[in-house]
Amino acid sequence: MATYPWVMAAWEPFTRMLPQEVEKLPHLQRWIDRLTARPAVERGMAVPKVG
C-alpha cells in the first residue's frame, strides 16, 4: 500500500505514452482498482499537498 501513491503518479503518464503495454499488466490494473476502492485510501489520497 505504501507504493500506491507512487504507482498512481506514474500510471496516468505510462498509460498515455505506452497504452499497448498496459494491456500486458492486468494484474497491476486489478491491484490499482482494489486499492482505489478502499475508503481509507481515498481519504489518504485526498490529503492536501504541502508546499
Q: How far apart are CA 1 and CA 31, in angstroms?
A: 10
Query: Side-chain half-sphere of 7: how many Cα atoms within 13 Å?
Result: 14
Cell of 27: 494484474
Which pLDDT value is given to residue 51? Answer: 66
Residue 48 is predicted with a pLDDT of 81
pLDDT of residue 50: 72
Cα–Cα distances (Å) from 40 to 10, 16, 34, 48, 50, in that order, read: 21, 27, 12, 15, 20
Whether this prediction's pTM lies above 0.75 is answered by yes
CA R_g for the chain:
12
* Per-residue pLDDT, 19: 94
Q: Which three cell numbers stand for residue 7?
A: 504507482
Q: Where are the domains positioned within the chain?
A: 4-38
pLDDT in tens, 1-51: 789 999 999 999 999 999 999 999 999 999 999 999 999 999 989 988 776
